[in-house]
Amino acid sequence: MIVSDFSDTCKLYDGFHIWEIESLDAFFRGSDILATIFHDFYHIPFEELNEKRNEIADSDFDIMINLLTLVNDKSFFLFTLHDENHLELVGMQKRKIMNFGMDIERIRKDRVYAMIMDKAK
């Protein structure tokens, strides 16, 4: 999803929540299906990720994006402190377009965050 469109399209989604991700390991602990998607996408068994990490040119952030785009039953976008996606969400909060259940401006600089949502019925 392109977050710059989110201000206009957020009404098409519901069931919002924000996932704070401490590390790539924590990302994989978040859902068992991610290991399967990882294997299908990168053709490396998840159990071999640490020993074969240098064979994957993608950053941890890019790995997360690649895998989340393949999850069929949810929509996601990732953000970090002061990146384009975060700034869009901050603007939405300030314009009172959306309440995130937290102060979206006050996120940690050492974490990745995922906005998780469902398509509205």
Strand partners, 38: none
Q: pLDDT higher for 34 or 77? A: 34
Which residues lie below 8 Å from residue 82, measured CB to CB, with a gap of 6+? none
Does pTM top 0.75 for this prediction? yes
Strand partners, 79: 113
CA distances from 103 to 32, 93, 99 (A): 29, 8, 9
- State phi, psi for 39 to the nearest 5 degrees: -60, -45
pLDDT tens string 39-51: 999 999 999 999 9
